[in-house]
Amino acid sequence: MSWHPCYTTSFEAHAYVVKGYLEQFGVPCLIEGSPFGVGHLMFGALGEVRLLVREDFLHVARGLIDGREKQAGRPLRLIRGRRR
């Protein structure tokens, strides 16, 4: 099984919040990368933290994130991974 990014942020703690949200619905997740920078200052892709899900759960994970955003009335994420 291959893993694909479904969510990207510059803040590691935010990635863990989204990971916990997806895992409560049974979506297996991995966090890849860690921010590199000083304080809140990040340097491009070096400050990127990606949330990965298995290929067979990618559609479910994106649906859950989109649904949560609509329910909250504001974006759940800071930066969104690219859709393929």
Tell me the residue range of the domain where 44 lies.
3-72
CATH of residue 9's domain is: 3.30.70.1530
Is position 82 within any domain? no
Angle, alpha carbons 4-65-37 (nearest 5°): 65
* Residue 9, pLDDT score: 86
Is position 77 within any domain? no
* Residue 29, pLDDT score: 95
Is position 62 within any domain? yes
* Residue 79, pLDDT score: 42
> Which tens digit of pLDDT belongs to each residue from 20-65?
999 999 999 999 986 555 455 555 555 688 999 999 999 999 999 8
* Residue 78, pLDDT score: 42
What is the full DSSP assignment across 24-54?
Answer: TTT--EEEE----EETTEE-GGGG-EEEEEE
pTM: 0.71
Instruction: Give the chain's domain count.
Output: 1
